[in-house]
Structure 1
Amino acid sequence: MTPRPYCVITPCRDEARFARRTLDSVIAQTEPPALWVIVDDGSKDETPAILAEYAARVPWIRVLRRADRGDRKVGGGVIEAFDAGLETVDLDAFDYVCKLDLDLDLPPGYFAALMDRMEAQPRLGTCSGKAYYVRGDAGTPMPFPLGADPRLVSERIGDDVSVGASKFYRVSCFRQIGGFVRAVMWDGIDTHRCRQRGWIATSWDEPELRFLHLRPMGTSHKSWWTGRARHGSGQYFMGTSPLWLLASAAFRMTRPPLVVGGVAILYGYLRSLLAGAPRYGDAAFRSFLRRYQLQCLLKGKRRATAELDARQASVWNPRGEVPDSFRAAS
């Protein structure tokens, strides 16, 4: 065990193109994980052979193989695979747990830097660096730390969330929010639930914490349109207000793919709205989220987040109760 034991859980499917980059970057960490559970969710490519090769020579890598369900199932399927790995882990043995994708390239001091910051701020429940991709060729190697290279494009994730591809959690916080929801927008719901319980969720855009996302966010395994439309549907499920969705879609129109990405988000949201699709079942959460989004529109996200975090300090309890459903599952 390392002095600061943490566990990484990675759901993956058909990641042979990028797996070695991620595997090598985690092995090269200045403080590697005590345990890395990689859940192969029915890969049909060379992913299983690559994972077996690394597991044979790295004692803290454990591979769990799931049956092929026929196709990649984003959102809920990712968390189903993550939970399958989580069921094999005794969280009492770790201070931190991380959900990590198998299409990333991390700087060598990445996890150590996150733990340093969490130790300095006890209310930090989840955090990450920022994701970048290389314009034109995801396979292009880039030296760390990632500086101001014109080939790099930021995925522009807000500072009030941890990045879905790299969700680093304090175990006590992860337990209090009940883990991840098995639905699209799981990676938004979790951070808002953190804040609802008095924890702080954040990410930092600093060179030593920037990492490469070898498959850019929202591209989907089918197309940009599919990925962005799915994001719009996920925003509807989470409980996002129409006004916030309009602002978010307008912003995304300024990011690649220009205009059409934002249009796809609007389409996905409206499609779910008109179909009367189900929403996340916690009404108190949806009300909390909409109040926060309104304050962000009125005051700016940075100020609204700082004010909310200050108010929520009164409800923070690092040893607070854990939902019965999560306790039973774990």
Structure 2
Amino acid sequence: MYDFSADIADCAQAVEAALDAYLVPDRLSGPGPAAIRIIDAMRHGSLKGGKRLRPLLVRQAAAVFGVAPGQALTAGLAVEAIHCYSLIHDDLPAMDDDDLRRGRPTVHKAFDEATAILAGDALLTHAFALLADPACHPDPSVRIGLVTELALGSGVGGMVGGQMRDIEGEAGGFSGNDIAIMQAMKTGALIRASVRMGALLGKADPEALAALTLYAEAAGRAFQLADDILDVVATPEAMGKATGKDAAMGKQTRVSQLGLDGARAELDATIAEAIAALTPFGPPAEALRATARFFATRQS
């Protein structure tokens, strides 16, 4: 029987160990010696925290096609490096201006703003080195597909573009479907990329990839809905970061649009949509179903 708690714990442990081994001078140097202060900042922003949900989705999607967890780890590390870089930059004074992340000082507080910017830049850069390494997958065409997928999910049409839309919306307000588009890019695009990268590792056919994409897009919406709800109901201690910031800043979210009960109802419907998309895969997709359900029930 599938055990989600054991799966997420095992994935988090594997990612932590692999990041710890990768973020060292010997691995990151070349052509010149790595700057130790930047590596220290990268480690501060990457280690000892986080559920590692995006690497989990990579390996769960890959497992649908018989790919072992260890074979999906390097691609998962690349996604996590992108995610950690985005958190370091999001916390900067020019962005969300947060002092706390995962219960610890943010990187710009523990070091300084310039070091935080460079640490994020370095994590972003090395993510693609991980995907280009033959250790990620022996087939070069698969590795190229993974690079393209992660670039699209994290670039101007994905996470970075979503952040820009969020900044524009804070300044000028959102109208119509703007919030949904922004959230699908800022949060959902990297979740979508994670699932699709797992499918690419398994050499999924176009029909299977399309079904998993529908799952991933719904799961991304659910994750952001849950995050918006938690910003209202969770404590800073549970979240490991400041809460209530959206309301304090007058920021529009689905919770502010629908109310708490309406947002929870939409979350339930979105989880059901994600699970329905997995129907063609049967039992091999049970892990992905469990992760979607976790998005709806998580407390941090």
Normalising by the residue count of structure 2, what TM-score does the alignment of the two structures yield? 0.33
Larger strand fraction of residues: 1
Larger helix fraction of residues: 2
